Amino acid sequence: MGEAFRVILLIGLSAAALTTGALLLNWWMEPDRRLRRAMLKSLGRPAETEAFSPLEGRAAGLDFSGGQLAVLWDRGADGLVFAFDEIEGAEMIVDGHVVARVRRGEARKSLDVMAPEASEVTLRLMFLDPRWPEFELSLWNARMAAQGAGSAASPAEALRLGRRWLSHVEALLR
């Protein structure tokens, strides 16, 4: 009787340990956490401004102290780091239309449209790199809203985040 109890107890403890290990691994590999770790590794310090799209596995972050911008894709497995002088500009795209733009050598096209019912808000970053001329990051879309993922909880919040990114890029281009 004592031997059977020990075997059952050992099986129960093993199952509990495996379950705990699986939960910890799942927590560690969450897309948002994974992207944040990759951003920290790319920049070498925490980003001062960041935008994440965990469902797409994409992120962007600015490090003002180090003078660099990192873009990540493929859940943070791939990415590039650009110096500020390699940034060409940025655009806000709402439902397929460019609604605001900041570009080197051009006047700023200000965001004068607020779209509370937008189905997609995207930030496009442009670089002076022929191999990687642009990077698009979805700040909000209907799929993100359904799953509660992303940097913004609503189209209005996504537009505010995008406007803040445009302001940062404009300041960097001056």
Say what the pLDDT of residue 86 is.
95
pLDDT (tens place) for every residue of the chain, 174 residues total: 788 888 888 888 888 888 888 888 777 767 778 889 999 999 999 999 999 888 889 999 999 999 999 999 998 889 999 999 999 999 999 988 898 899 998 877 776 666 667 789 999 999 999 999 999 999 988 776 656 656 667 888 888 899 999 999 999 888
**pTM for this model (two decimals):** 0.79
Dihedral angle over CA of 33, 35, 36, 41, nearest 10: 130
Q: What residues pair up with 71 in beta bridges, in sequence order? A: 60, 80
* Cα separation, 110 vs 140, whole angstroms: 20
Sorted by where each begins, the domain ranges of the chain are: 34-173
* Cα separation, 109 vs 74, whole angstroms: 31
108: nearest Cα among 36, 28, 170, 35 = 170
Say what the pLDDT of residue 43 is.
93
Q: Which residues contact 122 (CB under 8 A, 6 or more apart)?
A: 92, 93, 94, 136, 137, 138, 139
